[in-house]
């Protein structure tokens, strides 16, 4: 089974301002408190929430450092002291 890594995904949501996903997680955890017998449904909801966060994270543009690693020409300024 995949690990949910909820704290990591909560951090991703906070960093990117995805408060709708954080609210959804609050609803899911409140459901656990209100209806502890609905374990399977809550487990399924958490997995869907995890997938929603992952989809948004994967849709983000790459960070600048990642782009530089993919395109060495972007580091010419630091190597030669000039821009192209």
- Pair of tokens at residue 80: 């030669």
Q: Provide the residue ranges of all domains of the chain, joining segments of one domain with +.
A: 6-78
DSSP state of 27: H
| Banded pLDDT at 66 (limits 50, 70, 90) | low
Beta-carbon count within 10 A of 32 CB:
15
> Does residue 1 surpass a pLDDT of 70?
no
State if pTM tops 0.75.
no
* 34/15 Cα distance (integer angstroms): 29
- For 81, the token pair is 């002291």
What's the residue count for the chain?
Answer: 84
pLDDT tens sequence across 9-62:
999 999 999 999 999 999 999 998 999 888 889 889 999 999 999 988 888 777
Q: What is the pLDDT of residue 83?
A: 54
């Amino acid at each position: 089974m995949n690990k949910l890594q909820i704290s990591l995904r909560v951090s991703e949501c906070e960093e990117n301002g995805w408060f709708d996903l954080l609210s959804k997680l609050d609803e899911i955890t409140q459901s656990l408190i209100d209806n502890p017998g609905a374990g399977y449904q809550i487990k399924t909801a958490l997995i869907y929430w995890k997938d929603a966060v992952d989809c948004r994270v994967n849709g983000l543009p790459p960070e600048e450092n990642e782009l530089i690693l993919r395109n060495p020409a972007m580091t010419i300024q630091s190597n030669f002291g000039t821009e192209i």
